[in-house]
Amino acid sequence: MIEIHNLTKTFGSFRAVDGLNLRVEAGEIFGFLGPNGAGKTTTVKILSGIMRPTSGRVLVAGHDVALEPLAAKRAMAYIPDEPFVYPKLTGWEFLRFIGDLYSVPQAEQRKRIPELLETFELSAQAGELLESYSHGMKQKLLIASVLLRRPKAVLFDEPTVGLDPKSIRRFKGLLADIAREGAAVFMCTHILDMAEKLCHTVGIIDRGRLVARGTVAEVKKLSVVAGRSLEDVFLELTE
Amino acid sequence: MFNVLAARKLHTFTNTLKALRGWKLAKNLMFAGVGLLMLAALYGGFWRLLNYLEGVQLIGPMLSWKLTSMVLLMTFSMVIVSSIIISMTTLYYSFDLKFLFSCPLDLRSIFMDKALETVFYSSWTLVLAILPFILALGRIKALGAGFYLAYGLLMVPLVMLAGAFGILFSMTVMYLFPSSKTRDITWLLGSVSVAFVYVMFRFSKPEKLLRPDSLEIVAQYIQYLQSPTAPYMPSWWVTKAMVAYSAGHWGAFAGSALVLCLAAAAVYSFIYFLAGPLYMRGFSGAQSSPRFKGGRENLPEQRLAVKWPSWRAPLTLYWKDRLMLTRDARYWSQIILIAALIAVYLFSIRQLPLDTPDLKSLVSFLNVAVAGFVVAAIGLRFTFPSISLEGNSYWLLKSAPVSTASVMREKLMVSLVPSVAIGLVLIAVSNHLLNADLFISVLSAFTITVASVVISVMGIGLGATFPDFNVENIHQLESSYGGFLYMATAMGYLSLLVAVEAWPVQMHFAERFGRAHAWDMRAVALCAAVFILLNFVALYVPWKIGLRSLERHEI
C-alpha cells in the first residue's frame, strides 16, 4: 500500500534521507523510529507530497506521488507534528472543509461529523473558532478529519503530542480500527513503548539510513545482548 | 536582564546579515538600491519644492519652516497610530512572548523589550521617508553636517515619545478590556482614524496654503505662518530646535532639545512604572479567545457544489476564504483604508483645474494608468499576499488532492471581482466628473477591465512566485522583495498599456480637432495586435512562473 524505493533527499550537501527502501502493507501499522534529525519527518513529508524527493520513488495505493499526486493524495491522510489549522474556521467548518476537499458525500458528512466530534469529546466546542482550541484539541480534530475521509494510507508524524492520557488511549484504539479496516498506517514516533505495543512492524532510521526493519521481536534480536527492550536496541543502533 | 534581551536582538540581526550570501545578498542589495533610488527621487522632489518656497519673497523661509513643522507633526501622529496598531501585536501576541513569560525575567524587562520593538517597527519607515525632506531642507538652508546630526539626535526622543503614546493607549485599553476582541476593535479604530485624518486633510484643500493669493488678507496668512503648529506637541519642539540651530541660537536649541529629552524620559519612567500593575492583566486577557458560535449551516457554495460536483474543490476553497476574510479584523481595517483612498482619489479628480473638454477627455484617458495603479496598490494588500496568508496551514492544501493551479485559480476568483469593480468604479466616476467623451469613456472602461484582470493574475502569479508562509502580518509581505517586484511589474505593464493606446487616442483627438482622414486603420490594427500580445504576456508569464514556483515550493 505504501512503497518507498531508493528514496534520497538532500538539502545542499546534507543527506536527510539516504537510499531508503520500505513497504507498508494494507492493514499494517508501521512505526518509524529514529533520533531527532534522523530523517523521519522528511520521509513522511515526501510521502504526503508536500516535499519532493531528490531521487527515488514513492507509491501510495499504487499511485506514484510525483507522477499522480492527486490520485495518491486522495487515497491518503497526513497529520503533521504541529497541528496548524485555519484559526478563523470553527471545528465543525473545518471538518466540512476536509470532507468537501476529499469529496466525502455531504449526506455522509452530516451523519459522521457529529459522531466524530462526539467520539473526540469536541461537540461542545464544535461551533467555536479554532484559534480558541488548545494544541491537543486541534490534534484531536485532525485525527477526526482522518477518520472522516476513510483513507487507504495514513501518515502520522508524532500523533500523540499534546494529547491527554485518555485521548492517547482512544487514539490507540482508533489506530487499530483504521488498520483493521484495511488502511496502511505509517507512524513516526518517539514513544517506543507505544510503538512496541501497537505497531506490527517498526523501522529505525539514523542519519537518513534505515538501520533496522521488521517486527518488534525481529528488531530486538538485532541487539548483541538477548532479552533487551526496544528502547535499549534503539539506543544501541542509533548511538 | 534587559541587556540579555537586547543581546538576543543584536545576535538575530548580525546572524541575519551573516546569512546574506549569493543570490540572497544580491537580491537584498538590488532591493536596497531601488529603495535608495526612490529616496533620491523624493529628495529631488522636495528640493524643488523647498527651493521654490524659499524663493518666495519675504515669507519664503517662514513657509519652509511651516512645512517642516507640518511634516514633523504628521510623522509624529502617524507614528502614534502605527504604534497603537503594532503594539497590539508586539506587546500581546508576539510569537516569543509565551517563552519570555516562562523565563525568569521580570515583567518590566519584557515590557521594555517589546516597547522598544514597537517604537522601532512603528517608526523606521516614516523616519526613512522624511529623510529626503530633511536632507533637502539642510541643503536649501545651507546648513552643515552638524544640522543633520542634531536632527538625528532630536528624532530619537521624538519617535520614542510618539511610540510611548501608542503603547500607553494599548496598555490602558487592554487593561480595561482584557480580551483578544479589544485588539480587533483597536485595529479597526486605528484604521478609521487614519482614514479620517487622510480624508479630512485632503478635503481641507492643503494646496491653498501654497497659494497666498487664495487668502483674502495677507496679514492673516503671515500670522498663520508665524504661529506654532500644535505648540504642545513634541514635533513643534523639534521644529523650534531646528529653527534655533539654523539661526545659531544655541541656548534656544539646547532648551528645546532638553525639554524633548526630559519629556521622553518622564513618559518612559511613567509607562515603566505603569507596566507593573497593567501589563500582566492585559497579556493574560489577550490569551483568551472571544466566544463564537456558529458554522453548522449549509453554505451557498456547498449547495452549488452539489449541483456542480466538478467545481467542488474551488467552491470549497472559496467558502473557506470567504469565511476567513469576513472574520478577520485585519481585513476590515484594510477595507476602510481603501474606501478612504478611493474617496480622496475621486475628490482629487474633481479638483483638477481643467478648462477645456479636450483636456478633460485627455486626462480621462491618462487616468487609466492612475486607476490601474490604485488597483495594483489594493492588489498588493489583498491579491499578492493571498497565497502566503495560507500561512502554516498551507500543508493542508499541499497534502490535499487539489492541484496547485486549482488553488491559484480559486485565489484569483476571490480577488478578481472586487479588483475589476474598483477599477470600473474609479474610471466610471472619474469619466463622469470629467465629462469624458464617449470614445474615451468606452476605451478607458474597457482598458481598466482588462488591466484589472491582468493585474489580479499578476498578483496571484507573483504571490505564488514569492510565497512566504511564515509571515505574521500583511505588511511584511507588502514590503518584501516579491511585493516590490509585483508593484514594479504592474507599473511597467500600465505604462506600456497607455503607450500602446496612445496612438489611436491621438487619432481620435485629431478627428475631434477636425482633421480629415484622422484614422489610419493599419496603425489601429497594429496597436490592437500589440495590445493583445502585451496582455497575453502579462497574463501568461507571471502565472506560469508562479505555478511552477509554488508546485516546487517545499514546506
DSSP B266-286: HHHHHHHHHHHHHHHHHHHHH
Chain-centre distance for alpha carbon B541: 27
Paired with A1 in beta bridges are none
| Whole-number Å distance between alpha carbons of B481 and A197 | 51
**Substitution target from A101, A113, A133, A146 for chain B, most B beta carbons within 10 A:** A101
Integer CA distances (angstroms), B44 to B124, B144, B152, B339, in order? 21, 19, 21, 31
Integer CA distances (angstroms), B546 to A64, B409, B537, in order? 24, 12, 14
pLDDT in tens, B25-46: 887 888 888 889 989 999 999 9
Range with top average pLDDT, A189-203, B345-359, B485-499: B485-499
Lowest mean pLDDT among A223-237, B179-193, B349-363: B179-193
**pLDDT of res. B407:** 94
| Whole-number Å distance between alpha carbons of A138 and A130 | 7
Kindly state whether residue B319 falls inside one of the protein's structural domains.
Answer: no
Task: Verify whether the Cβ–Cβ distance B323 to A88 is below 8 Å.
Answer: yes
CA distance to partner chain B, nearest, from residue A141 (Å): 13
Whether A40 shows a pLDDT value over 90: the answer reads: yes
| Whole-number Å distance between alpha carbons of A205 and B346 | 65
Kindly state whether residue B332 falls inside one of the protein's structural domains.
Answer: no
Confidence of residue B320 (pLDDT cuts 50, 70, 90): very high
Kindly state whether residue B499 falls inside one of the protein's structural domains.
Answer: yes
CA distance to partner chain B, nearest, from residue A83 (Å): 8
Whether B15 shows a pLDDT value over 70: the answer reads: yes
Question: Which cell goes with B336?
Answer: 476602510
Residue B22 contacts A, CB cutoff 8 Å: no
Question: Which cell goes with B139?
Answer: 541643503
> Which residues of chain A neighbour B324 with C-beta distances below 8 Å?
86, 88-89
Minimum Cα–Cα distance from B552: chain A residue: A52
> Which residues of chain B neighbour A93 with C-beta distances below 8 Å?
295, 320, 323
pLDDT in tens, B57-93: 777 788 888 888 888 988 898 888 888 888 888 898 8
**pLDDT of res. B106:** 87
Nearest C-alpha neighbor of B97 from the set B118, B125, B79, B123: B118
Task: Verify whether the Cβ–Cβ distance B398 to A74 is below 8 Å.
Answer: no
By Cβ distance, the residue of B324, B391, B401 closest to A70 is B401
Whether residue B379 is found in the same domain as residue B497: yes
Task: Verify whether the Cβ–Cβ distance A49 to B316 is below 8 Å.
Answer: no
Spatial contact of A186 and A213, defined as CB atoms under 8 Å apart = no
Spatial contact of B305 and A109, defined as CB atoms under 8 Å apart = no
Report the relative pairing of strands A201-206 and A209-214 from DSSP bridges.
antiparallel
CA distance to partner chain A, nearest, from residue B391 (Å): 9
Nearest C-alpha neighbor of B330 from the set B114, B89, B1, B44: B89
Whether A221 shows a pLDDT value over 90: the answer reads: no
Whether B255 shows a pLDDT value over 70: the answer reads: yes
- Which H or E run includes A16? strand A14-24
Host domain of residue A168: 2-238
Host domain of residue B230: 23-286
Question: Which cell goes with B124?
Answer: 523606521
Whether B209 shows a pLDDT value over 70: the answer reads: no
Kindly state whether residue B435 falls inside one of the protein's structural domains.
Answer: yes
Q: Which of B286, B314, B332 is the last residue of a domain?
A: B286
pTM: 0.80
Whether residue B267 is found in the same domain as residue B168: yes
Q: Which of B286, B314, B339 is the last residue of a domain?
A: B286
Task: Verify whether the Cβ–Cβ distance A89 to B324 is below 8 Å.
Answer: yes
Task: Verify whether the Cβ–Cβ distance B292 to A90 is below 8 Å.
Answer: yes
Whether residue B51 is found in the same domain as residue B163: yes
Nearest C-alpha neighbor of B66 from the set B292, B301, B220, B228: B228
Residues within 8 A of A (CB atoms), B 377-406 only: 391-393, 395-396, 398-403
> Which residues of chain A neighbour B396 with C-beta distances below 8 Å?
84-86, 98
Task: Verify whether the Cβ–Cβ distance B296 to A85 is below 8 Å.
Answer: no
Whether residue B27 is found in the same domain as residue B126: yes
Whether residue B279 is found in the same domain as residue B375: no
Kindly state whether residue B342 falls inside one of the protein's structural domains.
Answer: no
pLDDT in tens, B348-379: 888 877 778 888 888 888 889 989 999 999 89
CA distance to partner chain B, nearest, from residue A214 (Å): 28
CATH of the domain at A175: 3.40.50.300
Residue B202 contacts A, CB cutoff 8 Å: no
Task: Verify whether the Cβ–Cβ distance B401 to A102 is below 8 Å.
Answer: yes
ipTM field:
0.92
Whether residue B101 is found in the same domain as residue B249: yes
Which sign does the torsion angle of CA B384, B386, B392, B394 carry?
negative
Task: Verify whether the Cβ–Cβ distance B292 to A132 is below 8 Å.
Answer: yes
Question: Which cell goes with A185?
Answer: 498506517
* CB neighbour burial string for B344-383, b if at least 16 within 10 angstroms, e if fewer: bbbeebeeeebeeeeebbbbbbebbbbbbbbbbebbbbbb
Residue type, B425: V
By Cβ distance, the residue of A52, A74, A100 closest to B316 is A100
Whether residue B273 is found in the same domain as residue B400: no
By Cβ distance, the residue of B302, B391, B554 closest to A51 is B554
Task: Verify whether the Cβ–Cβ distance B398 to A50 is below 8 Å.
Answer: yes
Say how many domains are in chain A: 1
Q: Is A56 exposed, middle or buried (0-12, 13-18, 19+ CB in 10 A)?
A: middle
Whether B6 shows a pLDDT value over 60: the answer reads: yes
Task: Verify whether the Cβ–Cβ distance B293 to A127 is below 8 Å.
Answer: yes
Kindly state whether residue B352 falls inside one of the protein's structural domains.
Answer: no
Q: Map residue A89 onto helix, strand or coil.
A: coil
Say how many domains are in chain B: 2
> Which residues of chain A neighbour B393 with C-beta distances below 8 Å?
84-86
Residue B307 contacts A, CB cutoff 8 Å: no
Whether B426 shows a pLDDT value over 60: the answer reads: yes
Kindly state whether residue B335 falls inside one of the protein's structural domains.
Answer: no
Task: Verify whether the Cβ–Cβ distance A52 to B552 is below 8 Å.
Answer: yes
Kindly state whether residue B303 falls inside one of the protein's structural domains.
Answer: no
Whether residue B199 is found in the same domain as residue B52: yes
Please tell me which residue, B386 or B359, carries the higher pLDDT value: B386
Q: Which of B223, B256, B286 is the last residue of a domain?
A: B286
| Whole-number Å distance between alpha carbons of B494 and B454 | 10
| Whole-number Å distance between alpha carbons of B541 and B544 | 5
| Whole-number Å distance between alpha carbons of B156 and B119 | 10
> Which residues of chain B neighbour A106 with C-beta distances below 8 Å?
298, 302, 306
Task: Verify whether the Cβ–Cβ distance A128 to B289 is below 8 Å.
Answer: yes
Residue B316 contacts A, CB cutoff 8 Å: yes
Confidence of residue A229 (pLDDT cuts 50, 70, 90): confident
Q: What number is the average pLDDT over the span B510-514?
A: 85
